[in-house]
């Protein structure tokens, strides 16, 4: 079976899990649906004669049993955002599996493990890459206790109920880490290139901003006697967009992705509005300017409108630069194979970022249709995944 047909078959198996009626995927981290995705991939790997184990945080590693020495990880994630697509994360895991299968079939002595990292998406709890952060020393247990879902259940409680450790052992013996991922942007497609080599990865600050006012009767409360939390929040949402636009040249971005308005009915002046805000960038100072401006503006709005304002940072990571030597070597490999490519930054976050303190990290991007991601419209060509695999495969064989 060709690599293309095999990948199509594997995607076909996974495309039955966590699919919503509208065709989008909801495969949230540390849920039964994410478990099913992992079980399905482990099932495929069993059929390929591969082995696997789970670590204390619930991350899964697929390998061929080749020794205890230093090894290469090819990894990514199988969870998705709420109403996401089928290629984010999954492409990287299946690419790793394809490469490991070849290594096993050809009985090559190249120690590789496919890493499947839990809860890469921050959709619900505001913390991204939970599995990879935990085993690389990038996440404190206290943050898991603080992070909670809309039902006020903490991520700490969810993980411990599922039998996972929130302070697992660190991963060891890493030689290098690779991740193949869809670009989630429009650059490769616009340039007609099948491959990107990632130079750096932007990182987020995520925060909750809660406005509290007076919940009142919408008919009986005159306009000059209101303390409407939603109107204060609305003012902040548009200000946040302006702060993001002011940093366009530094590539920072700012998004209000969550609005939880209480009680959220026709005939009541809103009394409490919670905003979930995501501010990202490659330039830390630029990103911090957006954060500071947002915090100041929230306080000023609260003062002006007689509201109470509570701000808390849920999570924060540093932008990272990926290994320059690996970038050069991957570029050379692509050149040798006649694959046109470019070096580019990543605006989205990835598990790869958290391995940079432990070993050299390389990442390759493949195009996705119109750059759309975190949407049911997300689409990548399997042929492009095969192209990315060719580069990683050749690099592993010749390095
Ligand atoms: C991961 O998908 C992210 O939110 O960057
Ligand atoms: Mn994603
Ligand atoms: Mn991803």
Cα angle, residue 247 at apex, residues 181 and 129 outer, rounded to 5°: 30
Q: What is the pLDDT of residue 309?
A: 98
Residue 348: CB within 6 Å of ligand 1? yes
List pLDDT tens digits, range 236-245.
999 999 999 9
List pLDDT tens digits, range 255-300.
999 999 999 999 999 999 999 999 999 999 999 999 999 999 999 9
Residue 201: CB within 6 Å of ligand 1? no
Among 89, 141, 139, which Cα is nearest to 115's? 89
Give the residue, out of 184, 279, 368, with the most ligand 1 atoms within 8 A of its beta carbon, to mutate for a pocket test: 184
Ligand 2 centre distance from Cα of residue 122 (Å): 8
Q: Three-state DSSP class for 45?
A: helix
Which ligand 1 atom minimizes the distance to the CA of 374? 2
Q: What is the pLDDT of residue 19?
A: 98
- What number of other Cβ atoms are within 10 A of residue 54's Cβ? 14
Query: Does residue 67 carry a pLDDT above 80?
Result: no
Residue 278: CB within 6 Å of ligand 1? no
Ligand nearest to the CA of 206: 1
Q: What is the pLDDT of residue 218?
A: 98
List pLDDT tens digits, range 83-107.
999 999 999 999 999 999 999 999 9
| Cβ atoms of 243 and 293 closer than 8 Å | yes
Q: What is the mean pLDDT of the chain?
A: 97
Among 77, 71, 76, which Cα is nearest to 112's? 71
List pLDDT tens digits, range 211-267.
999 999 999 999 999 999 999 999 999 999 999 999 999 999 999 999 999 999 999
């Amino acid at each position: 079976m060709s690599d293309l047909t095999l990948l199509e078959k594997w995607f076909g198996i996974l495309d039955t899990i966590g699919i919503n009626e509208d065709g989008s995927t909801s495969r949230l981290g540390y849920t039964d649906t994410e478990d099913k995705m992992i079980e399905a991939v482990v099932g495929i790997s069993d059929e390929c004669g591969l082995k696997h184990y789970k670590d204390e945080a619930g991350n899964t590693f697929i390998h061929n049993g080749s020794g205890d020495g230093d090894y290469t990880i090819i990894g990514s994630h199988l969870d998705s955002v709420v109403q996401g697509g089928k290629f984010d994360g999954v492409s990287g895991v299946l690419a790793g599996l394809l490469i490991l299968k070849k290594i096993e079939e050809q009985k090559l002595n190249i120690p590789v493990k496919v890493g499947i990292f839990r809860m890469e998406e921050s959709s619900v709890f505001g913390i991204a890459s939970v599995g990879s952060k935990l085993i690389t020393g990038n996440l404190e247990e206290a943050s898991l206790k603080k992070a909670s879902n809309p039902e006020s259940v903490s991520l700490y409680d969810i993980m411990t109920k599922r039998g996972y450790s929130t302070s697992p052992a660190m991963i060891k013996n890493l030689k290098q880490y690779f991740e193949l991922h869809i670009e989630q942007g429009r650059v490769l497609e616009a340039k007609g290139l099948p491959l990107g080599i990632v130079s750096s990865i932007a990182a987020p600050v995520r925060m909750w901003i809660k406005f509290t006012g007076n919940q009142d009767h919408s008919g009986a409360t005159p306009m000059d006697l209101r303390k409407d939390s939603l109107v204060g929040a609305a003012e902040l949402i548009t200000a946040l967009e302006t702060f993001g636009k002011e940093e366009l040249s530094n590539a920072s971005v700012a998004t209000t992705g969550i609005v939880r308005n209480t009680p959220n009915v026709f005939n009541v002046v809103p009394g409490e509005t919670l905003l979930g805000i995501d501010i990202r960038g490659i330039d830390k100072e630029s990103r911090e300017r957006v954060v500071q401006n947002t915090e100041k503006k929230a306080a000023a709005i609260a003062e002006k409108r007689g509201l109470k304002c509570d701000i808390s940072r849920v999570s924060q990571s540093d932008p990272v630069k990926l290994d320059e030597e690996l970038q050069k070597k991957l570029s050379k490999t692509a050149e040798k194979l006649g694959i046109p490519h470019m070096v580019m930054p990543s605006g989205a976050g990835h598990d790869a970022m958290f391995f940079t303190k432990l070993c050299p990290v390389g990442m390759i991007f493949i195009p996705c249709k119109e750059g759309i991601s975190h949407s049911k419209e997300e689409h990548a060509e399997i042929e492009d995944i095969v192209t990315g695999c060719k580069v990683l495969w050749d690099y592993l064989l010749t390095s």
